[in-house]
Structure 1
Amino acid sequence: MRINKALAAAGVCSRRRADELVAAGRVTVNGTVVVEQGYKIDPTSALLAVDGVPVALTPADAAPLTLMHHKKAGVVTTASDPDGRPTVFDDLPEQWRSRRLFSVGRLDYFSEGLLLLTTDGELAFRLAHPRWHMPKWYQVAVRGRVTPQTLETMAAGMRLAEGEQLAPVRAQLVGRPADDRFVLELELKQGINRQIRRMCRDLDLTVLTLVRFALGPLSLGDLPQGRYRLLTPNESSALYGAVDLTPATGAAKPTP
């Protein structure tokens, strides 16, 4: 197996990033620094490390694994937390614990909804990369006053108080349970940290709940909070196709 594919399959990084790590002399095989692009290893016996940290390799015949998870509020998306808070990996079913899963992007501590966990570094890289513009949909309950001007400001592309210029956000009002409470549906194609909460802050809105209910071709559906499931074959095909990859192998689609 090529060393970049082995690192991506282990969830360390994308193949492209793996090539950069190799070129920088940060990868060792059986204790020896390897800088050759395309270097091949036996994943059943090689001792691979990045910056001296051992990498648990995935067998060559193991297909990439991707799960959908309904993250609960009050849970972090990292594998461990220095403050001891619960993580999205704490309740991972036993049959998937031996695989090196990591989260695709993040949902903050107070947010909930659709989160992908995968072993496929290339898939994760492409889902997060601006080139593929993977849309994400959120339902956000806010307290404050939402006016047509509020929605127009989001749609025009805001500049946050910290200075970041945002891409346009498609926004619509989908509910008003009380005079000072509104429910918005937002479509984002950008990944600025805590973007929705910071947008609402600058518009004098207080976020009460924030739920991501769709990502690209995937929908959370009726998956209960805290639960995990495998993607269906159709979902996997649609997700990989959306970022120009072939399901199961994680290989790039051939150029027509």
Structure 2
Amino acid sequence: MIASQTSSSALLSPPTIRNRFLDEFVNDTEFSHIGEVEAITTAKKVVVCGSIIPASNYSRWYYIACKVCATTLTMENKESHEGEIDGETSLNQFKGKYKCRSMKCNGAIVNAVARYRVPFDVQDSTGSILALTLWEGQALPIFKITAMDLFKRLVESGANPDEILPKEIHDIEGQIFAFKINIQQYNINKEGSSYNIYRLTKDKNIIDELQKKHELNLPQEPTSDSSNEDFVTHPDINMSDKDSVNIEDDDVTTLETNT
């Protein structure tokens, strides 16, 4: 199943839409060079711009999620093994039923699904590096396939999704994006090393304006067979607060719904 891009992003065709998002990224939101982000001591949203650096050391690109609320599930939450396939297969972690202990589900028995949680680094012209996390809602307009469908496709091809970084993720290496990121209190307290992406865009006009305004001097993008259109993602509203997400490590961040 190929995901619908318009459900997770706005294609920048009408001038009014293009101008609104250009203002949001270029004029209305504070800009920060990547090397300055970790010195920020107030929770807020800022715009950064840079290229995605090679992903050779990335950790796992998906997580096991509650199909209802997107909270992280673990095998310890598994209540039944109905439908599991004989022999070892990574698909079995999405078979059977789980007990979801999130505030929303409150112990309900739910199905599990793979969702994107792609940690990566972004670098600007100063050479500074910032760790970001790409969640399902922001990833769909880029990869154009859900994490669950990509997971199944890898398994069907004989690959182990836990030991391979999919081509879709490799293809964004070196690409330049503008990111509106959420600096939250736990980032300021150094409780999490990765920052949440609130919105992102590859719109050339927005990136060109940011480069001119802030003298970014970003490198030329490599040629790629991927065909990302100009878009701005909508805020991901699947995870609304820190309590609804099982924080497993420093790479896990949460998403905020208010703009």
Higher RCO (CA < 8 A, seq sep 6+): 2
| TM-score (norm: length of structure 1) | 0.24
| TM-score (norm: length of structure 2) | 0.24
When Rg is computed on C-alpha atoms for both structures, the one with the higher figure is 1
Larger helix share, 1 or 2: 2
